[in-house]
Chain A
């Protein structure tokens, strides 16, 4: 299994009665990838995961694992293992029995199972904890046991359903690194479900961003962050300032957008939309808070924005300025704290500056709600 086993979703539709949970999903997940489905709750990402693990039948389309159609194959026969959101450790079984449950099913002897459990416990850095009950473990330890239990089944694909959501922030950040390391070590395909863009960005080789049953964009972390293909992706992945307007002029891969309040601004057109945006189209332009900086007052042009400062805050690593925005929402400017002195701009008109390649234009669309 040099490259691991890939997973393909082909024209996948999943409906519950009249409700469409997944709409025409087409995803190719390479073998050995750490692949994330990222989206707000209720977007259908868990539904996709359940169809891959076999708990749900697709209404239309196919799920292929390692090139094999999985239709009619039950969850217990698929080469997948799922880590549940609540972990679903068996409460009445000891840790080692939990871990080696898949071997018990296959009829392995208690001795073999103990041995394997000890190996896996070493791997997850919980040596000698096999005889405890899950209730006696801490949150992070339970997490690792759940991973060991899934890995013990030697799956080709490991599915993880927001497994870190129940942990506190510190532990969550620690487990990110750990998960990524485990994935590299075992080399199998991980499919990871999360609503936390930080998790998705730090761990994944590739990310699919989902909204209301539709996959908006698939790409690696940088692409999704820097080159979003829809307004939703731009607003969901990371903080972003939005400027609404109409396309006034197309200049190659750049567009001049007549914004509603901030004048004409120039922006790069996101890769997926190049050649698809026309003059007069409703458009949205996104600039990250860290891509904006304060320019000298009085300067103007197609990459300058003038706005009145509402309030300011000091966040430690950065200094944030919030100004009146375009269409109700405030514009956030984030200036890295390098020891410089900050003046108080509250109530003043200031001019903000950005570089054209740091602004990205997409067709107008639904924004992620926070």
Chain B
């Protein structure tokens, strides 16, 4: 019982955790397709691609992407190089110095990005002045400063990735190469570098992503070259638009796609490795994969994520956004007309009421009030339906219809799934996998 309770709470916890982690992203992605000018899901107006075309017409965004890529490439080259050097030295540094050395090269990860940005700008401006160069020299250039500033800490990330691989490197391989006549440089190029390749690729991808999304450092260094992140931040700070959701959608799709491809490649490599040892495995390895997928709840979640994205695309094909937007516009216009009418009517009634009141006052007779009061009530009701009817009416109706059924299920469902052993045992196989 206790164990089962724990099990369930673990899955509830996992649900909450991943809802927190992924929910905002999913919602953001969906808002990219809502024609509503404020990125939102709940008042769903129309399915549209308009935000994507708006995005691709945004010069600043496109320019930001270009700058981000340039900065990214520069940062990757610098930080992977420095990270590799840092890792190689870490494995050889004098034991007494090692802790100090490690602290120094790891520190940039912990130093707040703003501090790195400021110190980079301040330092290079000084170097620039000291060298007697003008404000348009390379040392004061936004691209240069951003690459330098980002590399300072991204190199530390790279180093951590590379050290992990380097620790598995057999140093005698280097000696063997030297012994066979290679120079140190040749041994490095022909033996160590190929060995480090997977980790170098990983660290390059990490470095690029870290550079691409960096804000804190770049915001001080970018100068005349705002990166995509800077542009995004400007936009998000001063008003939000679903065009940003559209960009987010693209990035999410690319990321998910990249991650899945990477995973598939890794998996294939492992299968190949297994197959080279045992040819039989190769045959059923390919077939086993779907079974694992179908039994795995997390994989299902991932597939569902992809499916939602896919479905929305398919949906768009069979949908005419322009028509819908026109409808919504019409509806809104209608609403506005109705409101106007209602206002007019209310105004007229108020006047009538006032007139009546005046008349009544003038007559100093109670009969007049009796006559006007129902009229006022009736008119306000019609006005209510006109203004809010299309918002509240459907939900009201649904709610009213479902209400009688609800009490039968309500007590059972929230607790049943937790305490009912039958439910648990069905939940278990999916959890136990």
Contact = CB atoms under 8 A, between A and B. Distances in A.
A contacts B directly in the complex (CB < 8 Å)? yes
Interface of A: 53-55, 74-77, 80-82, 84-86, 88-92, 101-102, 104-106, 136, 149-150, 153
B179 A90 contact: no
A84 B181 contact: no
Max chain B Cβ within 10 angstroms of own Cβ: one of A54, A77, A85, A92: A92
21 contacts: A55-B178, A74-B178, A75-B178, A75-B179, A76-B178, A76-B179, A77-B181, A82-B179, A85-B172, A86-B170, A86-B172, A88-B170, A88-B172, A90-B173, A90-B176, A91-B173, A91-B195, A101-B177, A101-B182, A105-B186, A153-B180
Given A76-B183, A86-B172, A92 B178 contact: no
A82 B176 contact: yes
A84 B191 contact: no
Interface string B190-213: 110011000000000000000000
B366 to A, nearest CB: 104
B31 to A, nearest CB: 48
B312 interface: no
A84 B195 contact: no
Contacts of A85: 172
A153 to B, nearest CB: 5
Contact of A88 (B173, B182, B183, B190): B173
Max chain B Cβ within 10 angstroms of own Cβ: one of A90, A92, A102: A90
Contact of A75 (B173, B175, B190, B191): B175
A81 B175 CA distance: 11
Given A90-B191, A136-B276, A102 B180 contact: yes
A7 to B, nearest CB: 15
A77 to B, nearest CB: 8
Given A101-B177, A102-B181, A153-B181, A92 B194 contact: yes
B180 A101 contact: yes
Tier of interface size on chain B: 10 to 19
A92 B195 contact: yes
Nearest to A106: B181
Contacts of B191: 90
Nearest to B171: A88
Contact of A105 (B170, B181, B195): B181
B193 to A, nearest CB: 10
A55 B195 contact: no
Contact of B180 (A55, A74, A81, A86): A81
Contact of A55 (B175, B181, B182): B175
A76 B175 contact: no
Nearest to B195: A92
A55 B194 CA distance: 23
Contact of B175 (A84, A101, A105, A136): A84
A99 to B, nearest CB: 10
B180 A53 contact: no
Contacts of A91: 173, 195
A80 B181 contact: no
A149 B180 contact: yes
A77 B276 CA distance: 38
A280 B182 CA distance: 59
A105 to B, nearest CB: 5
A52 to B, nearest CB: 11
Contacts of A77: 181
B179 A104 contact: no
B92 to A, nearest CB: 14
Contacts of A88: 170, 172-173, 175-176
A188 to B, nearest CB: 15
A102 B180 CA distance: 5
Given A91-B195, A105-B186, 12 more contacts: A74-B178, A75-B175, A76-B181, A84-B172, A88-B170, A90-B177, A92-B194, A101-B190, A102-B181, A105-B181, A105-B182, A153-B179
Contacts of A75: 175, 178-179
A367 B195 CA distance: 45
A72 to B, nearest CB: 15
A220 B335 CA distance: 111
Contacts of A104: 190
A278 B195 CA distance: 63
A349 to B, nearest CB: 56
Nearest to B175: A55
A146 B349 CA distance: 105
A173 B367 CA distance: 127
Contacts of B170: 86, 88
A150 B180 CA distance: 7
Contacts of A92: 194-195
Contacts of A53: 179
A102 B190 CA distance: 12
Contacts of A153: 179-181
